Amino acid sequence: MSPLTPKQRLKIAFGGFLSFLGILLLTITFLIVIEKINIENYLKPELFIYAMAIIGALDILAGFLLLHSR
């Protein structure tokens, strides 16, 4: 097993967190689309749309940062 530097471990953890967050958001969106859950019971619809847009933009930005930090 090769030793990893703390910077590499942070990149791996950050990438894993972003992957998990992306899958979670896709799952929630899918459940809303097929009407298994009603997001209005938990959040205002506008707030959910803004949250999805912000998290999506941060996910893309983090992807570029991870790509260019090799």
Query: What are the tens digits of pLDDT across the range 15-60?
Result: 788 788 888 888 988 988 898 988 788 778 788 788 878 878 877 7
Residues whose CB is less than 8 angstroms from the CB of residue 28 and which lie 6 or more positions away in sequence, other chains included: 37, 39
Residue type for 26, please? L
pLDDT band (50, 70, 90) for residue 70: low
**Pick the residue with more confidence: 63 or 16?**
16
pTM beyond 0.75, yes or no: no
Distance in angstroms (rounded) separating the CA atoms of residues 41 and 50:
17
pLDDT at 14: 79
Collapsing DSSP states into helix, strand and coil, what is residue 49? helix
Query: What are the residue boundaries of the structural domains of the chain, listed by start?
Result: 40-70
